Structure 1
Amino acid sequence: MHNTHFAAGNPGSATTFPIDESQLNQDLYDAVNGQWAKQATIPADHSSTGGFMDLVDNIEHTLMTDFDDLLAGKLTPANSEMAEFKKFYALALDTAARDKAQATPLKPFLASIEALHSFADLNAKLPKFYRQGIPTPVTLVVEPDMKDTSNYALYVDAPNLILPDKTYYAKDNPAAKQLLPIYTQMATKLLTMVGYSADDAQRLVDQTKQFDALIAPHVKSSEEAADYVKDYNPFPLATVAAKTDALDLTATITELLHDTPDQVILPQPTYFDALSDLLTPANFTLVKSWMLVKTVLFASATLSEDFSQVGGTYSRALSGQKQARSPKKAAYYLASGYFSQVVGDYYGRKYFGETAKADVRKMVVKMAGVYQNRLKTNDWLSSATRQKAIVKLQKLTIKVGYPDKIDPLFAKFKVDTTKTLFENAQAFDEIALEEHFGHWGHPVDRDKWDMSANTVNAYYSPSNNEIVFPAAILQKPFYSLEQSSSTNYGGIGAVMAHEISHAFDNNGSQFDEFGNLNNWWTADDLAHFKDLSQAMIKEFDGIEFAGQKVNGKLTVSENIADAGGLSCALEAAKSADDVDLRAFFINWANVWRMKATTEYMQLLLSIDVHAPAKLRADVQVKNLDDFYTTFNVQPGDGMYLKPADRVKIW
């Protein structure tokens, strides 16, 4: 159900800037990155800059250049899926055809929503709407059963809110006062572009916001959702279906799955407790308007360039991005989004290759070995829990670079060049949704990747007990054969051990070696682990940043993984012949290099499970004794933390 990603910020940079040696014991991040930060500028179509973003930009430039050659016939498609990608990318780039079509291809979908006059009408069309991806007040997702990950379960959930988090709906939250008018203006304009009158557009958007505000009190905040083990709330389908007489959930689910599950999982039971009060005949008009507005918003990216520009206004305001992407960049991201694994396969094979795959895999295995030794010598786990932890580690699946084969889904994507971009994208969405619901009743395919190889990130999947390192992150400053082993351990080594640590963070530790939700701890060990987790919450909670404060509970799992990853990577670095702890710590600070808009930093503080990049660099090293000896950190220095306050978990 959940994957734990390494980073949502923008770390690192391959360019070297002078280090302020006098400040290494006062503020590691500023000493390493201060000179860079003074000259760094955030591009107008970005919300941040820094090495992670630099890597993204470099890959974007490389692939866009290659795909220019693909379109020009200078590069032959590597396979049939790539040939379809070429056609789709050409459609996305054809702004004249998109501008000519305007909203025409969307109108039949809007007409089918407009024709609804009651919940009875909605029920008649509900299975079709799910197959088409039209927003509904109840979300259905087929994912591995968290307690039996070889098989699928149906998760029945609440829809997303307009504002980034339910905390934004509090009366005293100033961000909502800034953001809702921008959303209103954007949505109203899009509706008039589709053909609604100004009055109708305003009414539809007002009603959408009314229904959204009714949903907000009954869904989880980001902090609550971060404790994702609490998503597992199984209920008999009959019990859930009885929570509303407005929607016939049993009939709809049966039609979609060709089966009637005995039970379903509710990640947010409180939403379903409120469902009968939300889906009343009096609220039907609000629900219908909400469905219309959301459908127009989702479609905006695949309609004309004007629609695409206007449709991105709100997300740009959220992140402080000053300008929209160019039409060409937008087309590249749209096409590579739909053909993610196809583009990833091309990137991985051309720019990473089998040799690097084998080399990096060896490094991951080595990090797992270091982790195993740490578990064996752990001084607070009982032998029973320690043995279980080692078994879990030994069963860990490692995926590096790119999948061995492209997911069969993409072979089903056939572009019809006589149709519009929107129609082709909609057809792909429907194929993907059909496959998604078609998983029901089949065993889980553990070979699937949730990230394409051209994604600059990494993740741990608790339900698969696997760590995945896409090719894109496996380059400078994280990893390079040109860097010293200590530099590599401070970069990719810490990333690898971070992902391994997620198997033993406050969430991952509740899943066993098969990825099943299953408590394998003794009661005393679990109680002690919770105390250590609380110490990590306290270490970060309330630190002031970007005019707000860090939420220690929201970020605890990532902070535990950072701590375990960094200390494990440090041990690996010390075991190498050419150990250089100064280089290790400096690259750790270097990979977190980031300059971002205030809006983006504040958004991340509200919703992101990762602490701000600067704090990831600075706070974690204070817990490690070797940091103090490496930089002669003394009481009174900015980087000093009393030994009693240093948090050590893994």
Structure 2
Amino acid sequence: MRGGAGDTTAAEATRAQDNLYLSVNGEWAKTAEIPADRSTTGGFADLAVGVEERLLTDFAKFRQDLTQIRTPELQEAVKLNQLALDFKKRDEDGTRPADAMLNKLDKLQNWSDVNQHLADLIKDGTALPFSLGVEPDMKNTSVYLLYVDVPGLILPDKTYYAADNESGQQLLAVWSEMAIAVLQKFGYDETQATQLVDQAKAFDAAIVPFVKNSEELADYTKQYNPYEFADFLKLTPEIDFATAIPEILASTPEKIVLTQPKYFENLSKLVTPATFDQYKSWLIVNEILSTTGFLSEELRQLGGTYGRAISGQKEAANQEKHAYRLANGYFSDVVGQYYGATYFGDTARQDVTAMIKTMINVYKQRLANNAWLSQATKDKAIVKLNNIVIKVGYPDQVRAIYSQLKIKTAAEGGDLLNNILNLAKIFRLDNFAKIKQPVDRTRWAMPGNLVNACYDPSFNDITFPAAILQAPFYSLEQTNSQNYGGIGAVIAHEISHAFDNNGAKFDEQGNMVNWWTDADYTAFEERTQAMIQEFDGISYAGSQVNGKLVISENVADGGGLSCALEAAKEDDDVDLKAFFNNWAKVWRIKATNEYRQLLLSIDVHAPGPLRANVQAQNMDDFYQAFDVTEQDGMWLAPEDRVNIW
């Protein structure tokens, strides 16, 4: 039986031999309740709630006494928090804070007007039929390049636009109703609002044929398509990139990167005199909807309708959580450093760092004993392991950009929306300014208060924020076996991303270079194909898993679990049942049906119950630990078990 019971709503099994996930989490699932303002509860989500509650308490204290705040950057975060909480002023202001922005956009009468103001529109973050960002050159990560990307769609993914996708039709109806209602709050009558929304949807629909879906985007190395700047300009003559890009970068680039060339090869079909009215409607509707979270309570609630429909979330966050989340969003590194410095001890940091080094050594040993790789590829892989940069807890210093963020209080004539627009512009301009700077390898990919972890192939670094370093993932109170089944497997999972179907294409410096022999890479692809097939088509949440979409995370899960298992077995007091039980516990999740269906469409991770069950089925030690036989639900024939790392 592949994956045991793939769905937590299936008939319950209490024995690990039949369903490891339900044996650990079945009783919990009976009583667990999804908070009304969230779409999930479980391992990651519950820790996130705990972290947020702790910081909500701290922010409340700070608002009462600003002298308790240690740094000027955190003071500005609290000022933003205070401004966001002043709903009396927000309600009184209504839509007025958006007037200046919308008046500027209203003056755009044709594509020539757009081109004339293009640099300023880009700097302001205006909705355009493209987006720009500066990131390291994938093939030379010591320098930055400008990446030119496609615009976002109304629906969560291209696949939602298929004629037979009922969820897409339902969501588009919800979006339309919300958008029309919001526009009426901004002074448009129902006829005007309906016409704007219909035209916006027409422009959105015109984008769809030329962009990739989530499965295609999951192979992110294919988003690296460098073009000489002059050739790019020939490809897109309708947009005055020749003037705007040198202005925003304060230099003329020699080359840029197109993430999706097909879209830009067809941009001329979207940018014509005949399409301008559709574009302007798309622009106005998008810009108005983007302001609702920073205006009155009525607009905050109304403007969040579509987002809640996508995730199945029943209610908007209350005002206090909303105000905290805004401050945390724009001052993420600042809040994360405060959280880490306040609540994360050096003993835990040293212990986790030692565990990471142990995992890297386990990986080296497994590579040394690997039977399907040549020595040349093994040597290169070990060089990559030796160069992984470890980041645990939180950064000692926040980035300099945060010292530029200043909040204009209500007493100074400030309002929430225009503060937010100013903060976003500062971040945007800072990103563009990177083009002339050396790549900052000290930056942290995640703030300290985020319950997550990551590997970045362009930096060859792994980040473990303080917030994830607590039970059930990790605790000084848990046994080593439990910790290895939790954070140990997560650590090895992130290391494994260096050797998943994407990460394997990058070297020890983060450069996209082929360091494999042809025979070794062919053997690797055969194994990843087996992992795709193992997951592809498993029933879940009324749909099926897409094996290609989730392959990179599944490769990392398999490698992470096998390496953590090997490390755990080195302990004299190893308890493999405790190891696998904690592995299943960290993946516990209860989610709304809408959110589960969304994740199946766009998330590169397999559903939590399948991460717990299928990867355990691939481990021979699981069968020995629980005496699993051919008569049991978790049995998978040895020849069908997939192991890569």
Counterpart amino acid of residue 619 in structure 1 = V
In the alignment, which of 47, 58, 64 is matched to residue 50 of structure 2?
Answer: 58
Partner of residue 378, structure 2:
386
Shift of residue 161 of structure 1? 0.6
Q: Does 1:279 align with 2:271?
A: yes
Counterpart amino acid of residue 631 in structure 1 = F
Partner of residue 260, structure 1:
252
Partner of 1:440, secondary structure, is helix
Partner of 1:439, secondary structure, is helix
Would the aligned equivalents of 2:475 and 2:483 in 1 still touch at CA under 8 Å?
yes
Counterpart amino acid of residue 433 in structure 1 = R
Q: Distance in 1 between the 2:270 and 2:478 partners?
A: 58
Would the aligned equivalents of 1:395 and 1:513 in 2 still touch at CA under 8 Å?
yes
Would the aligned equivalents of 2:14 and 2:26 in 1 still touch at CA under 8 Å?
no
Q: Distance in 1 between the 2:256 and 2:20 partners?
A: 49
In the alignment, which of 120, 124, 134 is matched to residue 116 of structure 2?
Answer: 124
Q: Does 1:32 align with 2:5?
A: no
Partner of residue 645, structure 1:
640
Partner of residue 590, structure 1:
585
Q: Does 1:108 align with 2:100?
A: yes
Runs of 5+ consecutive residues of structure 1 not aligned to the other structure: 1-19
* Cα deviation 1:264-323 (Å, max 9, x = unaligned): 111101101110111111001111111111111111111112121111111100011111
Q: Distance in 2 between the 1:525 and 1:75 partners?
A: 60
Shift of residue 187 of structure 1? 1.1
Counterpart amino acid of residue 273 in structure 1 = E
Q: Does 1:454 align with 2:449?
A: yes
Partner of residue 542, structure 1:
537
Partner of 1:26, secondary structure, is coil
Moved more, 495-504 or 227-236: 227-236
Q: Distance in 2 between the 1:389 and 1:632 partners?
A: 35
| Alpha-carbon RMSD | 1.1
Partner of 2:235, secondary structure, is coil
1:215-364 to 2 correspondence within 5 Å? 215-364=207-356
In the alignment, which of 537, 547, 556 is matched to residue 552 of structure 1?
Answer: 547
Partner of 1:64, secondary structure, is helix
Partner of 1:152, secondary structure, is strand
Tell me the TM-score normalised to structure 2 length. Answer: 0.97
Shift of residue 110 of structure 1? 1.1
* Cα deviation 1:553-574 (Å, max 9, x = unaligned): 0000000000000000000000
Partner of residue 204, structure 2:
212
Counterpart amino acid of residue 228 in structure 1 = Y
Partner of residue 422, structure 1:
417
Partner of residue 510, structure 2:
515
Partner of residue 432, structure 1:
427
Q: Does 1:604 align with 2:622?
A: no
Q: Distance in 2 between the 1:294 and 1:230 partners?
A: 28
Partner of residue 614, structure 1:
609
In the alignment, which of 369, 381, 391 is matched to residue 399 of structure 1?
Answer: 391
Partner of residue 9, structure 2:
none
Partner of residue 8, structure 1:
none
Partner of 1:595, secondary structure, is strand
Partner of residue 438, structure 2:
443
Shift of residue 22 of structure 1? 5.3
Would the aligned equivalents of 1:69 and 1:75 in 2 still touch at CA under 8 Å?
no
Q: Distance in 2 between the 1:410 and 1:192 partners?
A: 37
Q: Distance in 2 between the 1:405 and 1:562 partners?
A: 32
Counterpart amino acid of residue 552 in structure 1 = G
In the alignment, which of 556, 566, 577 is matched to residue 561 of structure 2?
Answer: 566
* Cα deviation 1:107-160 (Å, max 9, x = unaligned): 111111111111110011111111111111111111000001110011111101
Partner of residue 573, structure 2:
578
Shift of residue 58 of structure 1? 0.6
Q: Does 1:167 align with 2:159?
A: yes
Q: Distance in 2 between the 1:171 and 1:196 partners?
A: 31
Shift of residue 248 of structure 1? 0.5
- The structure 1 segments of at least 4 consecutive aligned residues displaced by more than 3 Å after TM superposition are none
Partner of residue 6, structure 1:
none
Shift of residue 75 of structure 1? 6.3
Would the aligned equivalents of 1:66 and 1:75 in 2 still touch at CA under 8 Å?
no
Partner of residue 377, structure 1:
369
Number of residue equivalences:
631
* Cα deviation 1:573-600 (Å, max 9, x = unaligned): 0001210000000000000111111110
Q: Distance in 2 between the 1:223 and 1:189 partners?
A: 34
Would the aligned equivalents of 1:190 and 1:311 in 2 still touch at CA under 8 Å?
yes
Q: Distance in 1 between the 2:30 and 2:362 partners?
A: 38
In the alignment, which of 617, 623, 629 is matched to residue 624 of structure 2?
Answer: 629
Would the aligned equivalents of 1:244 and 1:279 in 2 still touch at CA under 8 Å?
no
Q: Distance in 2 between the 1:176 and 1:332 partners?
A: 32
Partner of residue 525, structure 1:
520
Q: Distance in 1 between the 2:97 and 2:445 partners?
A: 30
Counterpart amino acid of residue 531 in structure 1 = E
1:71-220 to 2 correspondence within 5 Å? 71-73=63-65, 76-220=68-212
Q: Distance in 2 between the 1:23 and 1:166 partners?
A: 40
Would the aligned equivalents of 1:459 and 1:468 in 2 still touch at CA under 8 Å?
yes
Q: Distance in 1 between the 2:108 and 2:14 partners?
A: 69
Q: Distance in 1 between the 2:405 and 2:143 partners?
A: 26
Q: Does 1:496 align with 2:491?
A: yes
Partner of residue 3, structure 1:
none
Tell me the TM-score normalised to structure 1 length. Answer: 0.96
